[in-house]
Amino acid sequence: MQKTTRKMRKPVPVRELTKADIEKGQFSGNLKQDCDALRAVLSASADLKERTIKMSDGAPCAVLYFANLTNLALISESIIEPLQRHGGAQGILHIAEQVVHVPEYKAEGDIYQVACALSAGTVAVLLAGEAEALLLPLLELEQRPIERAIQEDILIGPHESFSESLGKNLAILRRRVGSPDLKIKQLMVGRRSRTTVAIIYLAEVAQPILVAEMEKRIQRIDIDFTYGINYLTDFLDDEPHSVFPTLRSTEIPVRVVAALMEGRIAVMAEGDGSALIAPTFAPEFLQASEDYFDRPLSATFFRFIRMVGLMISVFLPGTWLALVSFHHGILPTPLFNSIQSGREGVPLPTVVEIFVLILAFDLIVEASTRMPTRIGQALGIVGGIILGQAAVQAGLVSPALVIIAALTGLAIFTQPSITFISVLRLLKYPVLIAGSLLGIYGVVWALIFMLITVTAIRSFGYPYMFPVAPFNLEGELDIFIGVPKLWHAKRQKFLSPQNERRLDYE
């Protein structure tokens, strides 16, 4: 049972609830007035229940709770029945420590804070003559069980994902880390929602300045309501207006644990099954969780495939358009003749043709994403095949461009991060526009502009393109090559971890 160093005090005299009390939001000690004040703050909600009890010495007390948020059986067994068997003359703290059977409690004299606690599934006990309420957390909600990750499916390794319960998610992380160094700081965000946000880190590894910076950014957030941790990204991000994410969102506990072991920090919120990892570097979006459970050679091959997919998804349409429209002399003559013969009878210019095809593919992807799983899969496959074949047979597009659009769409989904996939789906359009205006020079200028942009971005003060810029050989090997586990004996020095060594092997 949680203890307090606070000394037991005598009950305050009963007095009338004054206007100053209402403005300050303080309890008066008058049981009826205090209950009425709570009901007024909570707008007399229909699901707010009040149970008035006569204690063994005749002293009245009131138990308030929301019926849909709390465990009614526990309220009866752990609060109401013990209160009926004992007296309340010794005060609210005596009741908390000696009477009720609830492991945690808090005494609160602010009416609004008690109302917020009630809305979060806490039971409030008011005692006549006491200017404080006793808060006893007994939240009970039907919660989604631990399931397989949906957005980040893992082929090799643990398949569990986070749920919408912050307590359950923190328990998963504590069980997986298994170290007393795991520290959790909890803050409240939202003037109305009062959402619990947790900062998670390893005390002997993470830099205190990094933890302090995250805490400062969270404390600066001043909004009415938050829908989850991803809703707060704009407030925590170094570059909220950039298309490139500087915080990585993940629903996989093992990825969060790996980040904590490197000296990074994670942020989670109640009601959201995702975690944000900071700092995050752009090359890491090419890494999948199963890379560290697979053989090094296999991991290297799949990372190479993802890098090729990245280049194809962003630059293939623009490069193809530039070569066909401006620099067709570079193409082999048989290939160019084949392309031209396929365009015979096509009424649309090449630039319009490729824009229409890529946009149509994105429409199919978006539609299949919003549909139920089985229907969405069928819609994506059948829709793509039928639409492409019908467009070619009708003479609206050339067969070569259908292949280019399909290859671009497939290459995008080689990336393991759903956030990075969204970025790539956007980036191909500026490159395509640059290629249509300036040819291959436009594509090159688009590439240079992207490199300058991502190199200038920082994630919590760290260069976003690390370990590419600034160059770090050890980091380069881990990003682009699946190195053996024995090569990971030390943590990345770039993050300045307090404890650099994580493996001792002779």
Q: Of 125, 102, 107, which Cα lies nearest the Cα of 5?
A: 107
Q: Of 177, 178, 156, which Cα lies nearest the Cα of 289?
A: 156
User: Which of the four pLDDT bands, split at 50, 70 and 90, describes residue 5?
Assistant: very low
The answer to whether residues 323 and 422 belong to one domain is yes
Over residues 231-269, the pLDDT tens digits come to 899 899 988 888 999 999 999 999 999 899 888 999 999
Domain stops at, among 137, 154, 176:
137
Asked if residue 59 lies in contact with residue 88, where contact means CB atoms within 8 angstroms, the answer is yes
The answer to whether residues 231 and 312 belong to one domain is no
Asked if the structure places residue 142 within a domain, the reply is: no
Asked if the structure places residue 375 within a domain, the reply is: yes
Listing DSSP states for 122-157 in one string gives EEEEEETT-SSEEEEE-B----PPP-B-SSS--SSS
How many structural domains compose the chain? 3
The answer to whether residues 107 and 195 belong to one domain is no
The answer to whether residues 174 and 323 belong to one domain is no
Asked if residue 236 lies in contact with residue 271, where contact means CB atoms within 8 angstroms, the answer is no
Asked if the structure places residue 481 within a domain, the reply is: no
- The pLDDT, as a whole number, for residue 15 is 47
Asked if the structure places residue 158 within a domain, the reply is: no
Asked if the structure places residue 501 within a domain, the reply is: no
The answer to whether residues 344 and 448 belong to one domain is yes
Asked if the structure places residue 211 within a domain, the reply is: yes
The answer to whether residues 261 and 402 belong to one domain is no
The answer to whether residues 372 and 414 belong to one domain is yes
The answer to whether residues 395 and 444 belong to one domain is yes
Asked if the structure places residue 80 within a domain, the reply is: yes
The answer to whether residues 202 and 337 belong to one domain is no
Asked if the structure places residue 305 within a domain, the reply is: yes
The answer to whether residues 265 and 310 belong to one domain is no
The answer to whether residues 233 and 203 belong to one domain is yes
- HSE-up of 283 (CA within 13 Å, CB side)? 20
Domain stops at, among 215, 248, 280:
280
Over residues 353-387, the pLDDT tens digits come to 899 889 988 888 888 777 766 666 666 666 677 77
pTM exceeds 0.85 for this model: no
Query: 118: domain range?
Result: 19-137
Asked if residue 226 lies in contact with residue 189, where contact means CB atoms within 8 angstroms, the answer is yes
The answer to whether residues 103 and 180 belong to one domain is no
Over residues 291-318, the pLDDT tens digits come to 877 888 888 899 999 999 999 999 999 9
